[in-house]
Copies of this chain bind each other. A is one copy, B any other.
């Protein structure tokens, strides 16, 4: 049966796409990078078209895949923070370049670009 496990992967391009592919992974990493640290609710507000379920699920995948660090504060109300790991930090240059490529293309096609307002401290 379908080995979902990445161990049997062959091509590096394939491997990389499996790790950061998916509908929201790129954007999540990018937003966290821009803010250094984000809480669950903040992320949800940044990525407006994601549901609670998908956000939770994707965050878990990224965490299990060692691309996100999750810190839970044992408080009431709860507080959970997400940060990049060293591995995902090493991925940022790529995402950024891809983003610049996207901007170039979008300008060519006159597609309005929504910049994510990084709450730069």
Cβ A91 vs Cβ B99 within 8 A: no
Interface of A is mostly: helix
Cβ A101 vs Cβ B91 within 8 A: yes
Cβ B114 vs Cβ A10 within 8 A: yes
Complex CA distance for A22 and B22, rounded to whole angstroms: 8
A72 within 8 A of B: no
Q: Given A21-B21, A111-B7, check contact A15 B102 (CB 8 Å).
A: yes
Cβ B95 vs Cβ A101 within 8 A: no
CB within 8 Å of B: which A1-56 residues: 6-7, 9-17, 19-23, 26-27, 30
A93 within 8 A of B: yes
Cβ B99 vs Cβ A13 within 8 A: yes
A80 within 8 A of B: no
Cβ B90 vs Cβ A94 within 8 A: no
